[in-house]
Amino acid sequence: MESAIMIVVLMTSVGLFFGLVLAIANKKFAVETNPLIHIVEDILPKGQCGACGYAGCLAYAEAVVLDENVAPNLCIPGKELIANMVAELTGKKAEEIEPRYAYVKCSGCKEKAKEKYNYEGISDCISANMVLGGSKECSYGCLGLGTCAKKCPFEVIEMGSDNLPVVNKEKCTGCGKCETICPKSVISMIPAESKIEVNCNNKDKGATSKKVCTVSCIGCGICSKNCEHEAIKVENNLAIVNHQICIEKCGEAKCAAKCPTKAIGKLVEEKSASTNEG
């Protein structure tokens, strides 16, 4: 009994001793934190999305306050308002930020895209992609398990009835988290003023892509030939849109009207709507 008490007393004494040593060391070697760092952090959206290139809002706040070369407009979700506030606090100039949002480059729901097997595993796109690249015959298509929606730090993505992601364009901050997390690279950030986009991600040749999905881009080039401003071209069997040219010069999206598979979607008609349904 006495031995047990002695052990307890000894361990307590050792703990108190080392605790005191650590407290003294912490006080002696403490590094003063610039209070401006926490002021900047407080005005950031707290999405911890990493769009700024740093590991969280605190890391960016430290960088933008302490490093004169770090721009005040790197917080994409904060947009122009936050950029201007950070610029004012740090004495820097905030360059204009082009608004953008997440766009789902796939409209191949189960009714339109073939399945190669019935997946019954974890409801996660990354996990499903590890099993023969997912259940879809199209190796580039959305897997429809909603990982993008689950990981969206601002909760602006939900899964539609066709198991494809639906992005709330008006509320999307354009942080790019969903773009990064998608194992199929189906989601991309596009300018908010974009007029058209290709609802497909398939880079196989036309005959192959059409076999697995009825609304696939077949790389025929008709869209490119009908664009008088050369804002759209075909690369790796897939139509690619130059949004800047399209926004500045295009008055009528002839490419969308001419597309034989309707793989090109008009976005200007959705301007007043709150969602992008691809």
Confirm whether 252 is domain-assigned.
yes
Rg (CA), the chain: 26
CATH of the domain at 175: 3.30.70.20
pLDDT at 268: 63
Contacts of residue 249, defined as CB under 8 A and 6 or more positions apart, other chains included, come to: 229, 231
pLDDT at 254: 86
The DSSP secondary structure of 137-170, one letter per residue, reads SSTTS---S-HHHHH-TT--EEE-TTSSEEEETT
* Last-in-domain residue among 90, 115, 136: 90
Count CB-CB contacts under 10 A for residue 52: 23
Confirm whether 95 is domain-assigned.
no
Domain tally for the chain?
A: 3
Confirm whether 237 is domain-assigned.
yes
Confirm whether 185 is domain-assigned.
yes
This prediction's pTM: 0.80
- Whether residues 122 and 243 share a domain: the answer is yes
- Whether residues 115 and 209 share a domain: the answer is yes
Distance CA 235, CA 233 (A): 7
Contacts of residue 90, defined as CB under 8 A and 6 or more positions apart, other chains included, come to: 36, 40, 64, 65, 72
pLDDT at 12: 73
Name the burial class of residue 14, with classes exposed (0-12), middle (13-18) and buried (19+) by CB atoms within 10 angstroms of its CB.
exposed
Confirm whether 164 is domain-assigned.
yes
- Whether residues 160 and 236 share a domain: the answer is yes
Distance CA 144, CA 106 (A): 10
- Whether residues 10 and 50 share a domain: the answer is no
pLDDT at 119: 94
* Last-in-domain residue among 90, 108, 136: 90
pLDDT at 277: 42
- Whether residues 86 and 11 share a domain: the answer is no
Low-confidence ranges of the chain (pLDDT < 50): 270-278
pLDDT at 32: 60
Per the CB < 8 A criterion, the answer to whether 190 and 101 are in contact is: yes
CATH of the domain at 49: 1.10.15.40
* Last-in-domain residue among 90, 119, 137: 90
- Whether residues 78 and 191 share a domain: the answer is no
- Whether residues 139 and 213 share a domain: the answer is yes
Confirm whether 144 is domain-assigned.
yes
pLDDT at 275: 42
pLDDT at 251: 81
Confirm whether 186 is domain-assigned.
yes
pLDDT at 252: 82
Confirm whether 267 is domain-assigned.
yes
- Whether residues 224 and 267 share a domain: the answer is yes
pLDDT at 267: 85
Instruction: Read off the tokens for 129.
Output: 């992609």
- Whether residues 16 and 131 share a domain: the answer is no
Residue 11: which domain range?
1-30
Instruction: Read off the tokens for 261.
Output: 């598979």
- Whether residues 135 and 225 share a domain: the answer is yes
- Whether residues 196 and 255 share a domain: the answer is yes
- Whether residues 199 and 251 share a domain: the answer is yes
Distance CA 135, CA 125 (A): 10
